[in-house]
Structure 1
Amino acid sequence: MILSGKEIERRLGKNIFIDPFDPRKLNPNSYNLSLANELLVYDEPKLDMKKKNTAHRIVIPDDGLWLEPQRLYLGRTAEYTRTEGLVPMLEGRSSVGRLGLFIHVTAGFGD
């Protein structure tokens, strides 16, 4: 079952937690999360699962950031989210997908 925006708002602080919560990000059946201003970038373009892959943090400047090809960027949401008794779904926005950016490559369900 997908909850309506009104139901999401009604359950805030009970079994849905979004911090910070911005009512302008509430949609008819979803809530828009935003990208935090920090990314994790692996130091090597080729990653080997058999060894530790080092990475460093970068802060996204206010005027934006050019993403380099062949690099893996890991981001996180600016919001802390948690649910109890529900399974949230994380999906990308079509406007971002049309730019070739992926929100997640594996599981989109939160647990």
Structure 2
Amino acid sequence: MILSDTRILEEIGKGTIKIEPYNRECLGSNSYDVHLGKHLARYVNKELDAKAHNTIEHFDIPEEGIVLYPHEFYLGVTQEYTETHVHVPFLEGKSSTGRLGIDIHATAGKGDVGFCGNWTLEISVKQPVRVYAGMPIGQLIYFPVDGEIAVKYNEKKNAKYSGQISKPVESMMWKNKF
């Protein structure tokens, strides 16, 4: 079951869902539109190592936009900072974004109960496409949880992405034991 617009508004009123900045026009029937932030990043090395800390370089999207290219992998970030305290948030691309050939996440579309931060986007494109800071890029949908949560994501000692703010965050896979 996905939360409706009315229910999302109720949860925002209760403080169990937080979206900043919030704009009522971005609330859909059962989702909330999020926008591309001005910061992007790329990995410095073309070959990545899952057991190593892979360095990224940050850069900003200029006012005239920036062209993204196929066979390149970009990390982006949502303009919106979100908190979700009792629901499971999912981030999906907007249909208009998909029709431009833009994928906004590789596999990381689900958040956890207790996630607080800006969403890092794993962006790839099918053909060259110019993107702009502030353009609608995706939508959040919220699912209720069945049962009690023992430890929320933001309370976990090993939560690698808790509190990420404003800039894309690289993979923290290297912090796992394997």
> Where does structure 1 differ by over 6 angstroms across 4 or more consecutive aligned residues?
none
- Which consecutive unaligned segments of at least 5 residues does structure 1 have? none
Identity value in percent: 48
SS of aligned partner of 2:34: coil
2:48 maps to 1:47:
yes
Q: What CA distance in whole angstroms lies between the structure 1 residues aligned with 2:74 and 2:9? A: 32
TM-score (norm 1): 0.89
Q: Does 1:92 align with 2:93?
A: yes
* Residue in 1 that maps onto 2:8: 8
Q: Deviations over 1:27-71 (max 9, x none)?
A: 111000111100111123332324332211010011110113322
**Counterparts of 2:102 and 2:90, CA distance in 1:** 18
Q: Compute the TM-score of the two structures, normalised by the length of structure 2.
A: 0.58
Q: How many residues align?
A: 111
The alignment's C-alpha RMSD in Å is: 1.5
In the alignment, structure 2 segments of 5+ residues that lack a partner are 113-178
Q: How far has the Cα of 1:103 moved from its partner?
A: 1.4
The Cα of 1:20 is off from its aligned counterpart by 0.9
Higher strand share: 2
In 2: Cα distance, 1:56 partner to 1:37 partner: 14
Q: Secondary structure at the match of 1:8?
A: helix
